[in-house]
Amino acid sequence: MRKGLQNLENNENKNYKIIAVDDEEGIIDSLSIFLKRSGYEFVGATDPEQAIEMVKNEHFDLMILDFIMTPIHGDQVVEEIRKFNKELYILLLTGHKDLAPPLDTIRRLDIQGYCEKSDKFDQLLLLIESGIKSIKQMNEIKKINSELADTYEKLEKAYLESVQTLRYTVEAKDAYTRGHSDRVSEYSVLLGKYLNLPEETLNTLRIGGLFHDVGKIGVPDSILQKESKLTDDEYSEIKNHPSIGAHILSTATIFYDIIPIVKHHHEKYDGTGYPGRLQGEDIPYLARIAAVADSFDAMTSRRTYRDSLPMDVVISEFKRCKGTQFDPKLADVFLDILENHFDEIKAIQEKYK
């Protein structure tokens, strides 16, 4: 029974690769016999600089490292290894406890343990077994995290596809919305780029723009498809779509970052917008960007009751409404795009004609 358990343990140990570094060849030979007998895959090195290159190019689970070596000491070896490998489990061997490196060095270099050299390897074997258990647990955690990440990615994809279906349903009901969300998405990203926003934020703007009108799924078809100008009551119904959209998206944490865009893209800088009548910088920053993009597309799109506005009128409106409807700083940046980089606007318009 005992022999069977030992064989099983030795078979498990074959999954772990150990490198030992010591400039005394006799120590390497002894460790080789000892560790191979215990079932580990073993590699020995007497040149510490060569060992650094080996760790760079091969996978090792655990390193046994002599402290006092030539041409460089063990702590210098670890210093180099930690520049490119933070995970390698390292045990340090010392000829005498008085020659061990200071405790702060051991902590700083993330050395997991050390022991004195001895003719017997009992203490070292205990440290190795403890190290292998830690490595095994870390590998399990990595595996679980990887599986969770994969599951989350699939869930995220399913949610995105569901909301995308809602968006297409809205577009099928409302001819104006068709292409509008795509353009608002691209105009928002374009403005974000000129504001030097990071890539992650640009992605939030992109998705927020695509889904900003998803709440129109809750607005009656008779209002969405009406060809004449809306009555006050009908306009009140339309004004519910940001809150409806935010409510739809609130069931999934993956939409957390875009909900402020969906809910507040109709707020006005002077506090007269909806649904929250938020004012100035109380309006979420990305919602203020989307508001500029949304208004621009509304002005430059043909509606059943009016034609698209000429660009000089659009520019005049942005100048007139900065500080009231629009964040003045964002309006100025967007005006610069309209006046000096209109080719980028034109490219988006051509793309979604």
Q: Which residues are tagged catalytic? A: 216
Spatial separation of the C-alpha atoms in residues 302 and 299, rounded to whole Å: 8
Do the Cβ atoms of 217 and 249 come closer than 8 Å? no
Q: What residues are paired with 18 via a beta bridge?
A: 42, 62
Spatial separation of the C-alpha atoms in residues 245 and 215, rounded to whole Å: 4
Spatial separation of the C-alpha atoms in residues 260 and 331, rounded to whole Å: 19
- Host H or E run for residue 304: none
CA nearest 208: which of 163, 171, 241, 257? 257
Pairing of strands 41-45, 113-116: unpaired
CA nearest 264: which of 190, 203, 208? 208
Is the bond leading into 71 cis (omega within 30 degrees of zero)? Answer: yes
Q: Which amino acid is at 255?
A: F
Spatial separation of the C-alpha atoms in residues 210 and 225, rounded to whole Å: 20
Cα radius of gyration (the chain): 32
Q: For the chain, give the number of residues.
A: 353
Q: What residues contact 39, with CB distance under 8 A and at least 6 apart?
A: 9, 10, 11, 12, 13, 14
Spatial separation of the C-alpha atoms in residues 95 and 214, rounded to whole Å: 70
Spatial separation of the C-alpha atoms in residues 116 and 242, rounded to whole Å: 69
Do the Cβ atoms of 258 and 284 come closer than 8 Å? no
Spatial separation of the C-alpha atoms in residues 61 and 16, rounded to whole Å: 6
